[in-house]
Amino acid sequence: MSEFLLPAVPPQAPRINSRFWPWLMRTLLRLSGWRLLGQFPDQPKLILIGAPHSSYWDGVWGLMIKIALGININIMIKREVLDGPLGVILRPIGMIPINRKAALNVVGQMVERFNEREQMWLGITPEGTRKHVKHWKSGFLRIAHEANVPILPIFIDYPSKSFTLGPLVCATDDHDADMAAIRTLFRPYRGKHRNTEAS
């Protein structure tokens, strides 16, 4: 069986401390045929946005790829979930709690986390749901702009069984223009049940 290759992990990327789980995920991905294409930028802080998100399988393949790489990509989840028994499993794989009752909103909480850390990669699905939506949620743009963190698009494509790393994008004051430009990048790619229409 040929060796399964993934993009090199840059020095400034946050890492997870495990050898067994990355090996296991690389093995499963090799058997599944799914690949990650492109190159990661060498940035200590990033917001990664994945689309089109049309199936829970997107999260399964994405989680397997992140563990295979040994990168600590944080995913937001309700604090109540992590406070329960599942927290023992979810915290080590990068899930971070969101307190919806806190004085700061979700954007503010994430900006605060970015400001407190030297390294942090945050993964977000801008559609916010597996269903087709006309408008993407703008939270990732607001976090990127306020925390001064670049955005890395990740294109999900089921016909080619691939996740592809796109060009680095920096948020500006014009969120509407940023959103239109970013959504256009996703147009050629197709998820399990649909593609992403440019706004």
Q: Name the residue ranges covered by the structural domains of the chain.
A: 14-50+71-157+186-192
pLDDT digits (tens, 9 = 90+) for 61-77: 998 999 999 999 998 87
46: enclosing H helix or E strand: strand 45-51
CA dihedral 176, 181, 182, 184 (to 10 degrees): 120
Of 32, 52, 110, 117, the closest CA to residue 77 belongs to 110
Please state whether the predicted TM-score (pTM) of the whole model is above 0.85. yes
pLDDT digits (tens, 9 = 90+) for 84-139: 776 666 666 667 777 766 656 889 999 999 999 999 999 999 998 888 888 899 99
Identify whether the C-beta of residue 64 lies closer than 8 Å to the C-beta of residue 28: yes
**How are strands ordered across the β-sheet holding 162-165?**
35-37, 162-165, 151-157, 45-51, 120-124, 73-78, 95-98
Average pLDDT over the chain, rounded to an integer: 88
pLDDT tier for residue 184 given thresholds of 50, 70 and 90: very high
